[in-house]
Structure 1
Amino acid sequence: MADSPVDSINLNNIPATSLSDNEPGHQYHVSYDPHEHRRVRNPTNNMETLVHLLKCSLGTGILAMPQAFARAGLVTGIIATVLVGILVTHCLKILVQSQYGTCVMKQVPLLSYPESASTALLSGPPMFRSLARPAALAVDIFLVVYQLGICCVYIVFIADNIKKICDPYMSSTMPVEIYMVIILGPLVGFNLIPSLKVLAPFSALANLMTFVGLGIIVYFLLTGKKSEEPLDLWGSPATFPLFFGTILFALTAVGVVIAIENNMKTPKAFVKPFGVLNVGMTIIVVLYVAVGSIGYLYCVSDCSDSITLDLPQGPFASTVMGMFAVAIFISYGLQCYVPVEVLWEGYLLPRLGQYSPEKQKYWQYGLRASLCILTFLLAVSIPRLGLFISLFGALCLSALGICFPALMEACLTFQETRGQSRGHIYVKDAFLFIIGLVGLVAGTYTALISIVRSFQPSSP
């Protein structure tokens, strides 16, 4: 199919091979190297990949960090952001390396996240093998729900900021839903771009706007009149799950990370010590800590869902909100790329084999437009930006970004060792899995309760 980023792979009847006795996280010393056999249309270089990584992580999440720090406390927020950043980076690394290991086992250039999860569980202890097919389906569901959730959040963010820019110049203010309708057409048109290579220049522009906008925001936060409310240094256990969900949402771009690594010209450079992943995540974590702490010092407990909404009215503030609205608009296409690929490659294209490539292309355009309209309808239905961020972060990313990578690494370790002791890996992966599971349950429950309460009328 012409718009697919990677050549389609027939996984039927491909013999599996055993991995050598090397720990997950190291290169497998086998004759088959998936990277050498990968054929990618329009591959991205290291700098373009870094640009995509920064763009998908420097979106609405970083602008919600002051509110997240208000829920966690200043000191707790700084420490927890760094720790979660290390945790997320490690889990993304073992996910990419586990995908590499499953490709070696299957002797194929590339496997999707669901296929890798299924293959890893089939190679693990017998108790996990029956979960292989449900795990693949669960990964697909979490990926699609999460990425579409991001798109919903982006629509709300863009409309909120445009509304705040336009309201002072309107004789009568319009509801935010009207602004969502206005941006729907352009969003659909932009989402029809099928190639990450084509999106790279737009991502570079969005990154430039983001960094300039962040610079202006930090200037306002440092020079503006700060709240005189006393600071909360340590936060509350009751609201920490909301912080955890927000920081996971902000830092863990699982679907996009997999997509951009799969589309690299030199994928081996992604997880090197000073490779794209570590460099990008270091920049991201530093920026998150800076914006979160400075923003919290500015507004303390009265932080909006996005710090742009707390800026004083004026031309500079309007410029910042406009720049971020454009940057997030561009990012929408990158985020929607993942559910399109999951649904198209895994579910629709196999059922459209009787159609010509030209007709298949129109079907894919229809899918892209339909997903845009779906996210628009969801955004209009529940425009609760901050709580949506916490919900999708806790529900989907705890599973996709922590639980599944830990489980895959443990199963591949079982396949490699065949009775040899690698207890420290199992202990580490069990610890990661528990963290992800606790974050999923506690964060999802807290976010859902908060969303329900936000719709209830306030007591007089």
Structure 2
Amino acid sequence: MEDKMETIRLEPMSNNTAPTSPDRDDNADYDPHLHRQLEKPTNNLETLVHLLKCSLGTGILAMPQAFARSGLVTGIVATVLAGILVTHCLHVLVRSQYAACKKLRVPLLSYPAAAATAFSNGPPAFRGFAKPCAITVDVFLVVYQLGICCVYIVFIADNIKKVVDHYYEMAVEIHMLIILVPLIAFNLIPSLKLLAPFSAVANVMTLVGLGIVVYFLLSGEKSTEPLDLWGSAETFPLFFGTILFALTAVGVVIALENNMKTPKAFGHPCGVLNTGMTFIVLLYVAVGALGYIFCVSNCSDSITLDLPKGDPLATTVIVMFAIAIFISYGLHCYVPVEVLWKGYLLPWLEASGSNRLLVWKYGLRISLCLLTFLLAVTVPRLGLFISLFGALCLSALGICFPAIMESFLQYPKKPKLLLLKDVILFIIGIVGLLAGTYTALISIVRSFQPQAVLAHGAEHQHE
């Protein structure tokens, strides 16, 4: 059976105490971390490895194109600010989940259950929205994580095509079909802890690959086109969606903290989250700035597609990234499987008396792989996929909901500074969601218009 990383049960997992009303504030003596019973908990290093692997994927390779949309100076400043914003919101989310567990006197709550608890504890006018809120969070989580998987399929296929086209040209959709069976097989691995060694290997390959990419960016022939330092308001929403997609591993963060042997180490000033995010933001700034200086306005959806064609070292790094992202697919598909299985499918099967739970569970995993494959084949636009899912899902999951949860869990105390801060965060999230989603959708529609399709084909032919 899989690790008990997340649960949407509201009943206590300890016999010592009974659940209390969300309105009561007598839970100071209850520490959810001390009551967690995990089959295969991860240590601090394993958790950091997973966090890095989730954030060092296609997002960092799309940073040069993001900088092309924002301008060099704006990109550097905005990436640092976005990193601070995202890290703070992740801290808020983890603290809110912990506070919700204390109120219910339970060791573990999933993101949706914690959000429902926050609404139940908030102003009376919002308490009736607790269940719809939990379902909404589930929908965003599933859509976001499956969106990542779609992005990964397109990325792997695009990069394999760049290598193989030197010998035999095939449509990118054929490459997607070729990798489908291995993806399904890898996604059948049932335990997050079993994925940890693969994740560690993928991290090494990613870091080595990034080093080689930086080498090409520093030593290769750079574009002579003048740099855009400030960008434009028209394309900035696409940058915002890309940076959110790249930095915010919100679905995995909750799961990782819930599955830690020492969860208090996750949110310390020098803990797992701050350490990982600092390293990640610095890498993103470096790769984004260097990649943009190298390509300027001709940056591809992934910087690997701009490496010299036919160069043995470039080919090696492309293959390394394809393998690393392949491994990451299994980790990211873990979250929607958990959400759909524990929250919806398993309760329905138990109520119906089904005795084929294992068949259904593996059937769910296979079905999600097939779904992401079909979506990737339908819209094989890597960069726009990244911007769309970043703006749509992560503005809500990574900014809006954590801000609401923190405020509602403080009700009726409502500290004014905290309330003001959360209102500002919520506004930032809503603006990013609406502007980023609209811009990405318009760009996707335009990319399928005849002139854009011809330009897209010419670009691949040039590569």
Instruction: Judge same fold: TM > 0.5, yes or no.
Output: yes
The reply on whether 1:393 has 2:390 as its aligned counterpart is yes
Structure-2 separation of matches of 1:200 and 1:210: 15
C-alpha contact 2:113 2:134 (8 A) present in aligned 1: yes
- CA shift, 1:413, in A, is 1.3
- CA shift, 1:14, in A, is 3.1
| 1:216-238 per-position Cα deviation (integer Å, ceiling 9, x unaligned) | 00000000000000000000000
Which portions of structure 1, spanning 4 or more consecutive aligned residues, are displaced by more than 4 angstroms?
Answer: 6-10, 17-21, 354-358
Aligned to 1:452: 445
Aligned to 1:152: 150
Q: Which residue, 130, 134, 137 being the options, matches 2:135?
A: 137
> What are the residue-to-residue correspondences of 1:212-291 with 2, within 5 Å?
212-291=208-287
Read off the aligned partner of 2:173 and give its amino acid letter.
Answer: E
Structure-2 separation of matches of 1:412 and 1:168: 58
C-alpha contact 1:19 1:101 (8 A) present in aligned 2: no
Cα RMSD between the aligned structures?
Answer: 1.7
Q: Which residue, 409, 416, 421 being the options, matches 1:412?
A: 409
Structure-2 separation of matches of 1:431 and 1:381: 37
Q: Which moved more, 1:2-11 or 1:144-153?
A: 2-11
Structure-1 separation of matches of 2:450 and 2:157: 24
Structure-1 separation of matches of 2:388 and 2:67: 17
Read off the aligned partner of 2:422 and give its amino acid letter.
Answer: D
Structure-1 separation of matches of 2:29 and 2:190: 34
Structure-1 separation of matches of 2:392 and 2:5: 29
Structure-2 separation of matches of 1:429 and 1:217: 39
Aligned to 2:331: 334
Change (3 A) 1:454 1:231: same
Aligned to 2:4: 5
C-alpha contact 2:54 2:328 (8 A) present in aligned 1: yes
Q: Which moved more, 1:48-57 or 1:37-46?
A: 37-46
- CA shift, 1:137, in A, is 1.1
The reply on whether 1:14 has 2:19 as its aligned counterpart is yes
Change (3 A) 1:217 1:112: same
Read off the aligned partner of 1:423 and give its amino acid letter.
Answer: K
Structure-1 separation of matches of 2:431 and 2:97: 25
Aligned to 1:378: 375
Aligned partner of residue 356 in structure 2, secondary structure: helix
| 1:318-372 per-position Cα deviation (integer Å, ceiling 9, x unaligned) | 1010000000000000000000000000000001116889721221111001000
Change (3 A) 1:124 1:17: closer
Read off the aligned partner of 2:247 and give its amino acid letter.
Answer: L
- CA shift, 1:20, in A, is 5.5
Aligned to 1:301: 297
Structure-1 separation of matches of 2:298 and 2:34: 53
The reply on whether 1:311 has 2:304 as its aligned counterpart is no
Aligned partner of residue 318 in structure 2, secondary structure: helix
Structure 1's unaligned 5+ residue stretches are 22-28
Q: Which moved more, 1:177-186 or 1:4-13?
A: 4-13
- CA shift, 1:10, in A, is 4.5
Aligned to 2:424: 431
Q: Which residue, 97, 102, 105 being the options, matches 1:104?
A: 102
| 1:120-144 per-position Cα deviation (integer Å, ceiling 9, x unaligned) | 0111112221222221111000000
C-alpha contact 1:125 1:411 (8 A) present in aligned 2: yes
Aligned to 2:15: none
Matched positions, count: 446
Aligned to 2:34: 36
C-alpha contact 1:6 1:41 (8 A) present in aligned 2: no
C-alpha contact 2:6 2:255 (8 A) present in aligned 1: no
| 1:52-109 per-position Cα deviation (integer Å, ceiling 9, x unaligned) | 0000000000000000000000000000000000000000001000000000011111
Structure-2 separation of matches of 1:262 and 1:8: 10
Aligned to 1:25: none
Structure-1 separation of matches of 2:347 and 2:253: 25
Change (3 A) 1:281 1:357: farther
Q: Which residue, 117, 120, 141 being the options, matches 1:119?
A: 117
Structure-1 separation of matches of 2:225 and 2:423: 42
Structure-1 separation of matches of 2:449 and 2:107: 52
TM-score (ref. length: structure 1): 0.94
| 1:216-267 per-position Cα deviation (integer Å, ceiling 9, x unaligned) | 0000000000000000000000000000000000000110111111111111
Read off the aligned partner of 2:199 and give its amino acid letter.
Answer: S
Read off the aligned partner of 2:330 and give its amino acid letter.
Answer: G
Structure-1 separation of matches of 2:61 and 2:3: 33
Aligned to 1:204: 200
Aligned partner of residue 70 in structure 1, secondary structure: helix
Structure 2's unaligned 5+ residue stretches are 12-17, 455-463
- CA shift, 1:439, in A, is 0.1
Structure-2 separation of matches of 1:19 and 1:409: 17
| 1:383-411 per-position Cα deviation (integer Å, ceiling 9, x unaligned) | 00000100000000000000000000000
C-alpha contact 1:7 1:40 (8 A) present in aligned 2: no
Read off the aligned partner of 1:177 and give its amino acid letter.
Answer: E
Aligned to 1:26: none
Q: Which moved more, 1:72-81 or 1:189-198?
A: 189-198
Structure-2 separation of matches of 1:216 and 1:423: 49
Aligned partner of residue 301 in structure 1, secondary structure: helix
